[in-house]
Chains A and B, each alone.
Chain A
Amino acid sequence: MSAAASIDRDPATQVRVVGALAERALRVQFRRAQFLIPSFLLPLVLLAVIASGTSSARHLPGFPSTGAYIGFVVGGTLMQGALLAGITAGIALAVDIEGGFFDRLLSAPVHRVSIVLGRVLAGGALGACQATLFLAVAFLFGARYQGGVPGVAFAIFLTALTAAGMSALAASIALRTGSLSLLQNLFPIVFVLLFTAPAFFPRDLLNGTMRSISEYNPLTYIVEAIRAALHDDTALGSPLNGVIAASALLAGATAIAVWAMRARLRAE
């Protein structure tokens, strides 16, 4: 009997496998605190600096009223956290590949797609943890969420979806290259994606070129949807567009990651 044939294809079993792999990924990530510090600390530092350093922007004509300025920029912090969670998941996978754990996983009777989905689910869970922390810290420093509990829950959900999508993208890079150093050098990409979306400023107030570029960045629709939900104001963005953008990102990135996994297996 071939290894592939011995894999239990029962959906319930595979769901359990995905859950177990995600749990293991999260446990390992929290154990290696040095990998998690950037994704939890950096966004908070940037939030503190931007919320204070650019707070005079509230006086610009056309700047939306969302109460405390920190309440407006926290949406960008959630996006930064989601991007960093994705990179962190990719780094963790690259560590598994370099350390040999990934090869041991391949020899187990586990569906290959489940291995990818486990990593993606862990990225989403990490994104949700970050979002909860960031929203709580912003609340302590004056942010108020008119959208109430449903708005906050929606923001956390959308951040988790985005983090899962970014985890899938980073996982596909890890699977294709198996290079830890490459993944570690991807951090600047986070800022490219972040700054080409209206992460900390309204889209109408971005400069012309950046406004045009932002229309092609899915994070634009996600961050606007988060703001709309947090402040219960659809003038700030469309929650539906946010869900569509985040779902498309997740579906597309997961498909790429599965393809990368198959390409890796073919090459071995």
Chain B
Amino acid sequence: MTSAAYAFSLSRAMWQRSLLEIARVRGALLPTTVAPMIFLLGTTGQFGKLADLSGFPTTSYLAWILPLSCLQGAGFAGGAAGANLARDIEQGWFDRLLTSPAPRPLLLAGPVLAAMTRAAVPTTVILTTGLVLGSGLSGGIVGLVMLYVAAVWFCMIASLWGSFMALRAGTQQVGPLIQNGVFLAVFLSTAYTPLGLLGGWLGALAPYNPVTYVLQMARQATVVGIEPSWAHTWPGLLSLTGMTLFFGAIALRQLSRLGR
């Protein structure tokens, strides 16, 4: 077997094992779907009138919030991968993997790939709910693809962040900290209103938060004023690439230190 074929088969085995979690643990996907759903419905009901402000790119606040909730669900799914890794470390399963001849980076590839697969569930459920409640899909197929790329890629970044935290802490108690990190990354952006309407410290901070541009990329699907275009896409792709490199590097560095 060539090294590429070996890497592929090993990653696939790890991916399948991580996916088994969905079948084995009833309701494993529930928290990652329910919390963003509550947020979607609650925020739309609470702050819906913000869309009446001049400078708001759409008249539907639901359309504005929907991509955010999808991203949040995908991010929580990624964070859950980190929490699961922490459990494997605590229970000793990961130690057994470390003693195998498998290259260490591949031990992370499986759970990360599984998280990306799982992210499709909350993203699709939340998106479908939003569409049923009346949000249009103004960006068509291109916008939809952008939303899914943003959500699944963001999930990968969240799972790398979660893996780093799990490897560093080695305890399941790190779970809430991982999810709070995802929560903060999403909300310290243009979560509620566009940049032009953001005031105070958040208005100064949000332009420097890469998630702002990932959100812009995802919002091409539903927000009339953010039509699908390269100008609305490349900052998101650049942000996703940058975050992947950063969180991938710190996760791999932490992994290489484990047991040494």
Contact = CB atoms under 8 A, between A and B. Distances in A.
B165 to A, nearest CB: 15
A57 B48 CA distance: 10
Given A49-B202, A53-B198, A60 B53 contact: yes
A200 B184 CA distance: 19
A91 to B, nearest CB: 13
Nearest to A213: B45
Interface in B157-191: 173, 176, 184, 187-188, 191
Interface string B195-238: 00111111100000000000000000000000000000000000
Contacts of B188: 49
Contacts, number: 86
Given A53-B198, A55-B200, 5 more contacts: A49-B191, A192-B42, A199-B46, A201-B49, A207-B45
A106 to B, nearest CB: 30
A28 B50 CA distance: 43
A57 B192 CA distance: 11
Interface string A34-74: 10001000000100111111111101100000000000000
Given A38-B176, A49-B202, A54 B50 contact: yes
Given A56-B197, A56-B199, A206 B187 contact: no
Nearest to A56: B197
A38 B198 CA distance: 26
Contact of A53 (B45, B52, B202): B202
B19 interface: no
Nearest to B30: A185
A100 interface: no
Contact of B46 (A34, A49, A60, A206): A206
A192 B38 contact: yes
A195 interface: yes
Interface in A195-242: 195-196, 198-201, 205-207, 209-210, 213
A56 B52 CA distance: 11
A207 B192 contact: no
A175 interface: no
Nearest to B197: A56
B94 interface: no
22 contacts: A38-B176, A49-B191, A50-B192, A51-B200, A52-B199, A52-B200, A53-B192, A53-B198, A54-B192, A56-B50, A57-B49, A57-B50, A60-B53, A188-B34, A194-B42, A195-B45, A195-B46, A196-B42, A198-B46, A201-B46, A209-B45, A210-B45
Contact of B193 (A34, A38, A51, A54): A54
A30 interface: no
Contacts of B199: 52, 55-56
A185 B202 CA distance: 30
A133 to B, nearest CB: 19
A101 interface: no
B193 to A, nearest CB: 6
Interface in A176-196: 185, 188, 191-192, 194-196
Nearest to B35: A188
Contacts of B34: 188
Nearest to A70: B200
B42 A206 contact: no
Nearest to A69: B199
B42 A195 contact: yes
A59 B197 CA distance: 11
B200 A195 contact: no
Contacts of A194: 42
